[in-house]
Amino acid sequence: MKPSYTNRHHTSLPQSSIVCAVRRISFAAFLCSFIMLFCSQAAPMLASMDSLATPKAATSTTSASTTTTSTTSEQKPLLRLFLNCAQSWFCYEDFTKTELSAFDFVRDRFQSDVEMLVIRQDGANGGSLYTIEMLGHGAVLESMRDTLRFATNQADTDDMIRTKLAKILKLGLVRFAVKSSANDAITLDFKKRSQADLTKQADPWDYWVFNTEVWANMEGESNYFRLFAEGNFTVRRITDDSKAVLRLSYGRNQSQYTVNNEKFSATTERWSAFGQYVKSIDEHWSVGATYFGEHSIFRNFQFAQRITPALEYNVFPYSENTRRQLRLVYEVGYQHLQYIQETVYSKMQESRPLHRFSVITDVNQSWGSINIALRGMNFLDNFSQHRISLDSRLNLRLLEGLSLNLWGSGALIRDQISLAKADVNQSTALLQGQQLPTAFSYWTAIGVSYTFGSIFNSVVNPRLGQIE
């Protein structure tokens, strides 16, 4: 048996006391690390606050409208811009061109001096993050590029978003304007050109634009098949003095079901031609004419064509069209109809005079936007055959974070003179291969959105996105 010794100066600590001591030392080390980290992060913030608190000498700025130099007999060329958007709706093209009317817009990026690539992404706060790449082209601006960003909130209206976009684009263009050959014609306060001035620039295409679109959709299951194909070709020339549009379209819809080993199918085909010419008279009046031709299996039209001269009056000046419109349109004309099958009125063809009156309003303000189109049409030789339709869209910002959205359309129908006399096949009707008699039609939708919480979260994180 070993002897035991007692040390009067050192006392053996229990194991639990040692553990507590280690924990206290670890917590103290963590606390010191946290304080050091906080100080390192807070230092730049305090410095920036101190700089804000320090008074700065006021700088003198002079604001002047865009003017062209009068010392030279030849006007210097303006910057040519190309607005590059994956989808035109979030670039508010008409509004943007109006706000930046001090510049020329081109439809080809390779013909531009500055390309503005606008990218929109969903933000974490329910709003959007806009990234704008300003890309210089040509010998002088080729090496220049800038990246600008701004964020929107979910509660922002279209007018608020497009105003922010136009402001950022103006700021981004300053650097390019200074380097361009027209730097003495542009100042920070960009002046809007009148619509008449927009057509004075030389254009080898004389403002004619050609566009072709073709697309197809096919889907199916073991007992279901559907094919939809459509294409169109559009030619247009739009200036402040006149507007000319020609559009050719073709569409085919084929559906097939198999129920209890029995096949049901329906095929509809449609092609159409649309032409319009409008002449501007002044800030409120316009005159023009519209042509429409159509072949439609669904509507029993072998060939239907209509021509209607029209007169339009806008209560507000056309120069304010991006913010508000209230247009009254009257059309009177003639149509000739040739049918595929004999109609319920025992007709294979007929010619009818008609007229139509439309009231169209479109308002975009900071509180939201509203669009309403009310139309009434009837045949002049039989007023009992008529149609009244209403289309509407409302986006109302009730208060911060709360928005109300309403969509709706409806029609009272008394003009189905093309209905086929022959009995409609049940499967064809169910597959929407032929129109059915009806007294009205409608479509409506309503939505309410409310957002609360942080309004400063502009982070975009696309990880695992679009997998719903």
Domains and CATH numbers, the chain: 80-185 (3.40.50), 197-450 (2.40.160)
Task: Give 331-356 pLDDT, tens digit per residue.
Answer: 999 999 999 999 999 999 999 999 99
pLDDT at 187 over 80: no
Task: Give 251-267 pLDDT, tens digit per residue.
Answer: 999 999 998 888 889 99
Lowest mean pLDDT among 138-142, 255-259, 303-307, 443-447: 138-142
Q: How far apart are CA 258 and CA 226, in angstroms?
A: 12
Task: List, in sequence order, every residue forming a beta bridge with 440; answer none if it has no partner.
Answer: 412
Cβ atoms 414, 385 nearer than 8 A? yes
Residue type, 177: A
Q: How far apart are CA 106 and CA 80, in angstroms?
A: 6
At 459, the pLDDT band (50, 70, 90 cuts) reads low
Q: How far apart are CA 337 and CA 331, in angstroms?
A: 19
pLDDT for position 87: 72
Q: Give the full edge-to-edge strand order of the sheet including 324-339.
A: 208-221, 224-238, 242-259, 262-280, 285-296, 301-314, 324-339, 349-365, 368-379, 382-399, 402-413, 440-450
pLDDT for position 206: 85
pLDDT: which is higher, 184 or 266: 266
Residue type, 290: T
Q: How far apart are CA 332 and CA 95, in angstroms?
A: 32
pLDDT at 24 over 70: no
Lowest mean pLDDT among 6-15, 103-112, 285-294, 351-360: 6-15
- In sequence order, which residues have a C-beta less than 8 Å from that of residue 204 and are 6 or more positions away? none
What string of H, E and C letters represents the secondary structure of 240-272?
CCEEEEEEEEEEEEEEEEEECCEEEEEEEEEEE
Task: Give 378-389 pLDDT, tens digit per residue.
Answer: 999 999 999 999
pLDDT for position 301: 96
- In sequence order, which residues have a C-beta less than 8 Å from that of residue 205 and are 6 or more positions away? none
The Cα-based distances of 400 to 186, 239, 259, 369 in angstroms read 37, 40, 52, 16
- Exposed/middle/buried for 103, CB within 10 Å: 0-12, 13-18, 19+? buried
Measured in whole angstroms, how far is the alpha carbon of residue 47 from the centre of its chain?
43
What string of H, E and C letters represents the secondary structure of the chain?
CCCCCCCCCCCCCCHHHHHHHHHHHHHHHHHHHHHHHHHHHHHHHHHHHHHHHCCCCCCCCCCCECCCCCCCCCCCCCCEEEEEECCHHHHCHHHHHHHCCCCEECCCHHHCCEEEEEEEEECCCCCEEEEEEEEECHHHHCCCEEEEEEEECCCCCHHHHHHHHHHHHHHHHHHHHHHCCCHHHCCCECCCCCCCHHHCCCCCCCCEEEEEEEEEEEEEECCEEEEEEEEEEEEEEECCCEEEEEEEEEEEEEEEEEECCEEEEEEEEEEEEEEEEEEECCCCEEEEEEEEEEEECCCCEEEEEEEEEEEEEECCCHHHCCCEEEEEEEEEEEEEEEECCCECCCCCEEEEEEEEEEEEEEEEECCEEEEEEEEEEEECCEEEEEEEEEEEEEEEEEECCEEEEEEEEEEEECCCCCCECCCCCHHHHHCCCCCCCCCEEEEEEEEEEECCCCCCCCCCCCCCCCCC
Q: What tokens were used for 224?
A: 């279901």
pLDDT for position 65: 38
Query: What average pLDDT score do residues 425-445 get?
Result: 86
Q: How far apart are CA 302 and CA 294, in angstroms?
A: 8
pLDDT: which is higher, 158 or 50: 158
Q: How far apart are CA 362 and CA 159, in angstroms?
A: 13
pLDDT for position 180: 76
Query: What are the backbone dihedrals phi and psi of residue 362, each rounded to the nearest 5 degrees, phi first?
Result: -145, 115
pLDDT for position 49: 42
pLDDT: which is higher, 310 or 9: 310
The pTM (predicted TM-score) of the whole model is: 0.68
Task: Give the distance between the most distant pair of CA atoms in the chain.
Answer: 131
pLDDT: which is higher, 313 or 436: 313
Q: What tokens were used for 447?
A: 């939505």
Lowest mean pLDDT among 8-22, 264-278, 404-418, 426-440: 8-22
Give percent of the chain with pLDDT exceeding 70: 76
* Highest-confidence segment of 95-109, 114-128, 281-295, 453-467: 281-295
pLDDT for position 219: 95
The Cα-based distances of 463 to 122, 150, 372, 407 in angstroms read 12, 21, 40, 33
pLDDT for position 376: 97
Lowest mean pLDDT among 93-102, 117-126, 170-179: 117-126
pLDDT at 319 over 60: yes
pLDDT for position 7: 41
Mean pLDDT of the chain: 81
pLDDT for position 343: 96
pLDDT for position 287: 97
Query: What average pLDDT score do residues 278-283 get?
Result: 94
